[in-house]
């Protein structure tokens, strides 16, 4: 008797989910190196200011105008720099930016007097203008919305540490260049003999320029504006980047005509943030202009440890950027209130900055002054990543233009004035008066942060003249959105 068997049971094996590629972390690496170089190149002049003043016969007021010249040019061209990124893409725009600033950083080492040094630093600022607006565009295109605070925190940590470590790295580089071994090597290598008797600070700026040129070559050949255009990005990573993002917020080159500029100028949120950034930049630039002089002349810090003290506030500020970005994202997730999660940290942080700077008038000794300046830097930067994410949220596909607008106010009115105003105040009225001014300015910045709404675009996404063009999407991305290629 045969054994009856039922129908064969077949199982359908589900395909294993595709693991997302990690190309975005390569993008992050490029952004981190760029963030480091932006602040390192602009701050390193502060650590060799004395040698430059001696060799070029400059006064302290002369150097104040030269430092302010960088910020003036940087601020004036921020909107054009951001607009170029929105119009032509960040790959070409960032490559142009870093190429230009690297050339003028190198030329700083060839200055022969006050006029040439001012022009080189002015054009260095013009060249660097648009760097952070375009970094924001890259961040917006390559990372999920829910990670914007953390990514921004990492970038600002690296930027602040680039500025802080310049007080250690650049003098060490100059000491190595000035060593008998290096001078002998220069004298024996054909074609480099002139370096054996060239001032170390000049060679140091030439080296900085070369580092930037190396970044440009690597970045331009590897990077793509749209993750969908990078062959090594698989569908899983593209979906991860695009999650929680409406179809209208995809990457691409977008129209940037007169109506978008009118919409930008009419945004109360952006004006409020611009005012806060202006106040914050005016006060923060103390750390990269007159902090070394204050620690030396007022607090009489030991020269052997002064460079570490000058570095400390920027290192603490960098850590605050990372912490603030993480906390901001967590508060948004837990509370479900994006506006609260973005504006709370700048409000509290700027108030802490002002209180700490006011307390410097009571500092007795360099250690107490250092602690207070570290608290001030922490307060300024605990809200930096949240502010960064807020501008991305308001700017959307026009984040470059929005950042350009913010940074124009911050640098033309904030950073460019402080190196000029600072010495006039502390020479004629004392350091305590300068710190009181900082306190009032930062109180204003804190109050301004009650006004922005980071959840609302500054343009009408439904208006075809200001909203993104789907024609700018790649064929692959149009397919992903169900739009086809027709």
Region 86-94: mean pLDDT is: 89
DSSP-based helix, strand, coil % in the chain, nearest 5: 75, 0, 25
Q: DSSP state, 147? A: G
pLDDT of residue 469: 38
- Is residue 398 within 8 A of residue 389, CB to CB? The reply is no
Element (H, E) at 319: helix 303-335
Region 28-46: mean pLDDT is: 90
pLDDT of residue 15: 55
pLDDT band (50, 70, 90) for residue 114 = very high
Residue 30 has pLDDT above 90, yes or no: yes
Percent pLDDT > 70 in the chain is 87
Region 276-292: mean pLDDT is: 84
- Is residue 279 within 8 A of residue 448, CB to CB? The reply is yes
- Is residue 82 within 8 A of residue 402, CB to CB? The reply is yes
C-alpha distances out from residue 299 to 47, 163, 293, 363, Å: 18, 22, 9, 9
pLDDT of residue 309: 79
Is domain 23-229+253-459 given the CATH code 1.20.1250.20 in the classification? yes
Distance between CA atoms of 300 and 399, rounded to whole angstroms? Answer: 44
Digit-coded pLDDT (tens) for 139-171: 888 888 777 778 888 888 898 888 888 888 999
Digit-coded pLDDT (tens) for 330-389: 898 898 888 898 999 999 999 999 999 999 999 988 899 999 999 999 999 999 888 888
Most confidently modeled of 25-29, 193-197, 308-312? 25-29
pLDDT band (50, 70, 90) for residue 263 = confident
Distance between CA atoms of 330 and 158, rounded to whole angstroms? Answer: 21
pLDDT of residue 254: 53
Tokens of 435: 């710190």
Distance between CA atoms of 215 and 166, rounded to whole angstroms? Answer: 18
Distance between CA atoms of 391 and 401, rounded to whole angstroms? Answer: 10
- Spell out the alpha helix ranges (H) of 249-302: 258-265, 268-284, 291-297
Distance between CA atoms of 356 and 374, rounded to whole angstroms? Answer: 9
439/82: higher pLDDT: 439
Tokens of 18: 């595709």
Digit-coded pLDDT (tens) for 384-406: 888 888 988 898 878 778 888 88
First to last CA, the chain: 65
pLDDT of residue 9: 47
pLDDT of residue 31: 94
Digit-coded pLDDT (tens) for 464-473: 444 443 333 3
Rounded to two decimals, the pTM is 0.72
> Which range (256-265, 277-286, 314-323) has the least confidence?
256-265
Residue 434, phi then psi, degrees to nearest 5: -60, -45
Domain extent listing, the chain: 23-229+253-459
DSSP assignment of 363-430: --SHHHHHHHHHHHHHHHHHTHHHHHHHHHHHHGGGHHHHHHHHHHHIIIIIITTHHHHHHHHHHHT-
pLDDT of residue 14: 54
Dihedral angle sign, alpha carbons of residues 442, 448, 452, 458: negative
pLDDT band (50, 70, 90) for residue 81 = confident
Distance between CA atoms of 128 and 406, rounded to whole angstroms? Answer: 15
Digit-coded pLDDT (tens) for 443-485: 999 999 999 998 888 887 665 444 443 333 344 433 332 322 2
- Spell out the alpha helix ranges (H) of 410-474: 418-428, 431-448
């Amino acid at each position: 008797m045969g054994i009856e068997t039922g129908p064969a049971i077949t199982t359908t094996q589900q395909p294993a989910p595709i693991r997302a590629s990690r190309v975005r972390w390569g993008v992050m690496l490029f952004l981190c190196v760029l963030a480091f170089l932006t602040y390192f190149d602009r701050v390193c002049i502060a650590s060799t200011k004395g040698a430059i003043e001696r060799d070029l016969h400059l006064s302290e007021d002369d150097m104040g105008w030269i430092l302010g010249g960088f910020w003036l040019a940087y601020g004036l061209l921020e909107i054009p720099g951001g607009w170029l990124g929105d119009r032509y893409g960040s790959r070409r725009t960032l490559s142009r930016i870093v190429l230009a600033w690297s050339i003028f950083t190198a030329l700083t080492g060839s200055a022969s007097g006050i006029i040439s040094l001012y022009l080189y630093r002015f054009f260095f600022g013009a060249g660097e203008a648009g760097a952070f607006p375009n970094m924001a565009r890259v961040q917006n295109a390559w990372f999920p919305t829910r990670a914007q605070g953390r990514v921004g925190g990492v970038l600002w940590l690296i930027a602040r540490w680039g500025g802080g470590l310049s007080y250690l790295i650049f003098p060490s580089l100059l000491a190595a260049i000035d060593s008998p071994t290096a001078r002998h090597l220069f004298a024996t290598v054909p074609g480099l003999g002139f370096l054996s008797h060239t001032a170390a600070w000049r060679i140091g700026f030439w080296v900085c320029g070369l580092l930037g040129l190396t970044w440009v070559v690597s970045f331009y050949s590897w990077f793509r504006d749209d993750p969908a255009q990078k062959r090594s990005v698989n569908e899983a990573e593209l979906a991860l980047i695009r999650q929680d993002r409406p179809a209208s917020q995809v990457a691409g080159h977008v129209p940037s005509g007169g109506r978008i500029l009118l919409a930008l100028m009419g945004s109360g949120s952006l004006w409020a943030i611009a005012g806060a950034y202006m106040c914050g930049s005016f006060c923060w630039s103390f750390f990269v202009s007159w902090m070394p002089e204050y620690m030396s002349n007022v607090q009489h810090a030991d020269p052997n440890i002064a460079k570490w003290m000058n570095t400390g506030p920027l290192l603490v500020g960098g850590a605050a950027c990372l912490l603030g970005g993480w906390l901001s994202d967590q508060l948004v997730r837990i509370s479900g209130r994006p506006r609260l999660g973005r504006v709370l940290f700048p409000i509290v942080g700027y108030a802490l900055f002002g209180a700490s700077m006011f307390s410097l008038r009571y500092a007795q000794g360099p250690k107490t002054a250092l602690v207070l300046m570290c608290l001030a830097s922490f307060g300024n930067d605990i809200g930096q990543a949240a502010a960064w994410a807020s501008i991305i949220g308001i700017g959307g596909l026009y984040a470059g233009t929005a950042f350009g607008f913010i940074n124009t106010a911050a640098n033309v009115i904030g950073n460019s004035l402080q190196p000029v105003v600072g010495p006039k105040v502390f020479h004629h009225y004392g350091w305590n008066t300068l710190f009181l001014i900082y306190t009032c300015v930062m109180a204003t910045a804190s109050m301004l942060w009650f006004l922005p709404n980071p959840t609302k675009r500054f343009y009408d996404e439904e208006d075809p003249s200001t909203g993104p063009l789907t024609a700018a999407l790649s064929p692959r991305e149009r397919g992903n959105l169900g739009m086809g290629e027709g």
